[in-house]
Structure 1
Amino acid sequence: MSLLFSPLALGRLTARNRLWVAPMCQYSAVDGVPQEWHHTHLAQFASGGAGIVIAEATAVSSEGRISPEDTGLYNDAQRDAWAPITAAIRARGALAGVQLAHAGRKASTWSPFSGRRGSVPSDEGGWQPVAPSAIAFDGFAEPVAMDASAIDRLVADFAAAAGRAIEAGFEVLEIHAAHGYLLHQFLSPLSNSRDDEYGGSLENRARLLLRVVDAVRDAAPDAPLLVRFSASDWAPGGWDLEETTMIAREVAARGADLVDISSGGLVASQQIVVGPGYQVDFAAQVRRGAGVPVSAVGLITDAAQAEAILASGDADAIMAGREWLRDPHFALRASGELGADIDYWPKQYVRARPA
């Protein structure tokens, strides 16, 4: 029996397999509202056999969007637009997930389709970014440091977005604390120079994330909850694997069902060594050190590679991104390559199933 195609229980739900679609920004929303593109883009992965399909980083407030073209869950119009998309994912047998996010100092930036880089000025639709400290990401506008009331509003925004997500039909929630976005900015001493209860010690730097986990868990008590971490800033003096392991244990104690281990994104000076499965060892060390379920991600592109990661005990599930873009039927293909006998080939495609 293939491990990749064995089910995995997450709280009260079970994913039909362990090959999942990672969140991938599409920069194609209008006023935070997902469009027909998002419907086709996400539903195809469920038809292709994914166990969980996680929608892109979706902002919990207007100012939390990475770009003006990001999706949101900060109003009811956005919630209602997500509903037919989640229904399409569920109808095809996958669990529908969403990544709740706030971009912090990396907000109000040009989308990659614009041909421009840096911050969008206010007269062209941009806004003032916020962050733990007034430290800009290289080439972006200087953010405003959040005060206590802004932090309290942020926690409330995550809770409200979680509630809307459930109303929209999402079944799995992921809190984005990676890739240099706001919660990661609070975690890392490279972006957090505060001298109050949210800065300095690891306990203080992690305080906001733990508040958000508690708030989201309270707002959605029955939904499987994931937290995505960057296990390393790949920069001297930054957030590291040891701290990730410690806080992974903390979020699990507060009700997170799995931690999703990635890396990088905080500083432009990062020195990442990239290669096939280059982040898997981070996931393995967090899994063993914290004793929590983990997913691995990062240049995982074929069935045998994914199966080997699980067989070695390095992860409990595989998140893939670009391989799903190259082949929206990645799981169907992988099942054939591994000889896994699955019963969720779409009947319309059965004629193409390998003998």
Structure 2
Amino acid sequence: MMSLNEKTAARSREPLYQPLTVRGMTVRNRIVMAPMTRGFSPAGAPGPDVAAYYARRAEGDCGLIVTEGVAVDHPAALGDAGLDEKDVPYMAGDAVLAGWRNVVDAVHAADCRIVAQLWHQGVLRKPGTGPSPDVASVSPSGVWGPLGRQSSIAPESIPADPQVGDPMTEAQIEEASDAFVRCARNAIAVGFDGIALHGGHGYLIDNFLWEGTNKRDDRWGGDRARRGAFAVEIVRRIRAAIGEEYPIFFRFSQWKQQDFRATLADTPEELAEVLRPLADAGVDVFDASVRYFNKAAFEGSPLSLAGWAKALTGKCSMAVGGIGINQGVYDTAKTMAAVDNVELLLDRFERGEFDFVAVGRAMLGDAQWARKARSGEAIRAFDATADIRTLT
């Protein structure tokens, strides 16, 4: 059996370390730090420790960082996230923005680019929590989602009745949209290289996209085109607000935290109905969130979800899910360990299936992952307890 160094010598990994320009942003390589909620920003403001945390990944030869989910300044955007919600970062307020400016400067000093992922929890916000506990949670139809499905939500947090609130009014939809646009402007003002939108996993934007949470029959709901109108409107308005220089990333997922087996689309044609309007509105990179990056998305083709996103839209795409680690998110069947699956990445990358490779838990475990994966050095394994509870 070949050692890691022998495998690296046998097949060059340099294709993953070539630069790429998307609009006005040029990255030195295709290795991305994936967004991962951490909760180390007291009162929403990232401090020097957070700046150092991101800088370590930048110094480890990562080409691009997508931040953890950053709450937009809508009163119902943030609640209990499985961490202390007081420590999840925001993207508004002088002290908060000063903290992000320090993060951006530290990352740029290491010749790495960074984009801010804007986030609204939507129906998954736990009522009575967050910075505005008296404000009701919002979602398109006030529907939590179907009950009795395989879920990542703790049983005590799953409602007894799927109807958990009222449908959003036109005014509430406008307020939420405004918050995304304001925070996109804020992010660009402090030096971020682009904007990422969290449109997956059962949060607000995804609440509109998914028929399990969107039961509306007006212009914001119905078929896929109307269910996608909220996301398209946010992208369109952000593009107008930040101009043509900055890329927009869009994370989407088939699965939801309420239902692991949920789908936005069951065929490539249906997926095109979701993604093409977003591409037309201004999305440059589709971040296809799956648990295993190399799993086929639809029967009859080996293409992954990221591969289909690129094929259907002509835009860049990003692979994520189990890179550098032997488990998908939420798997418990086997002991977690670091693995070298870069060869599997290269098989797909060199066919043009995706443009970026997003590494999550493996890069939490070893800030030097990008450099070591290139050179064949041993990589420190991710510790599911220590690495989540500390800023490594």
Instruction: Pick the aligned partner of 2:93 from 71, 75, 90.
Output: 75
Between the aligned partners of 2:262 and 2:363, the Cα distance in structure 1 is 34
Could you tell me which residue of structure 2 aligns to residue 228 of structure 1? Answer: 251
Cα distance, 1:250 vs. partner?
Answer: 1.8
Between the aligned partners of 1:260 and 1:132, the Cα distance in structure 2 is 23
Cα distance, 1:122 vs. partner?
Answer: 8.0
1:247-326 equivalences under 5 Å are 247-263=274-290, 275=292, 277-278=294-295, 281-301=304-324, 302=340, 303-326=342-365
Could you tell me which residue of structure 1 aligns to residue 239 of structure 2? Answer: 217
TM-score (norm 2): 0.75
Root-mean-square deviation (Å) = 2.4
Between the aligned partners of 1:202 and 1:131, the Cα distance in structure 2 is 17
Between the aligned partners of 2:314 and 2:59, the Cα distance in structure 1 is 33
Alpha-carbon deviations, 1:200-243, whole Å to 9, x = none?
A: 11121011100000111112112111111114556677422544
- How many aligned residue pairs are there? 318
Judged with a 3 Å threshold, the aligned counterparts in structure 2 of structure 1 residues 66 and 6 are, in CA distance, closer, same or farther, namely farther
Could you tell me which residue of structure 1 aligns to residue 170 of structure 2? Answer: 148
Between the aligned partners of 2:165 and 2:190, the Cα distance in structure 1 is 32
Between the aligned partners of 1:331 and 1:55, the Cα distance in structure 2 is 17
Q: Is the 8 A contact 2:61 2:370 kept in 1?
A: yes
Judged with a 3 Å threshold, the aligned counterparts in structure 2 of structure 1 residues 96 and 148 are, in CA distance, closer, same or farther, namely same
Between the aligned partners of 1:231 and 1:260, the Cα distance in structure 2 is 12
Gaps of 5+ in 2: 1-11, 148-156, 298-302, 325-339, 378-392
Secondary structure of 1:3's partner? helix
Question: Which amino acid letter does the alignment assign opposite residue 222 of structure 2?
Answer: G
Between the aligned partners of 1:132 and 1:153, the Cα distance in structure 2 is 13
Instruction: Pick the aligned partner of 2:265 from 228, 235, 240.
Output: 240
Between the aligned partners of 2:123 and 2:313, the Cα distance in structure 1 is 29
Q: Is the 8 A contact 1:52 1:95 kept in 2?
A: yes
Between the aligned partners of 2:91 and 2:158, the Cα distance in structure 1 is 25
Could you tell me which residue of structure 2 aligns to residue 349 of structure 1? Answer: none
Cα distance, 1:168 vs. partner?
Answer: 1.5
Could you tell me which residue of structure 2 aligns to residue 129 of structure 1? Answer: 137
Could you tell me which residue of structure 2 aligns to residue 111 of structure 1? Answer: none
Could you tell me which residue of structure 2 aligns to residue 346 of structure 1? Answer: none
Q: Which moved more, 1:65-74 or 1:123-132?
A: 123-132
Judged with a 3 Å threshold, the aligned counterparts in structure 2 of structure 1 residues 253 and 289 are, in CA distance, closer, same or farther, namely same
Between the aligned partners of 1:85 and 1:183, the Cα distance in structure 2 is 26
Between the aligned partners of 1:323 and 1:191, the Cα distance in structure 2 is 32
Cα distance, 1:121 vs. partner?
Answer: 5.1
Between the aligned partners of 2:280 and 2:218, the Cα distance in structure 1 is 25
Could you tell me which residue of structure 2 aligns to residue 177 of structure 1? Answer: 199
Between the aligned partners of 2:132 and 2:179, the Cα distance in structure 1 is 25
TM-score (norm 1): 0.82
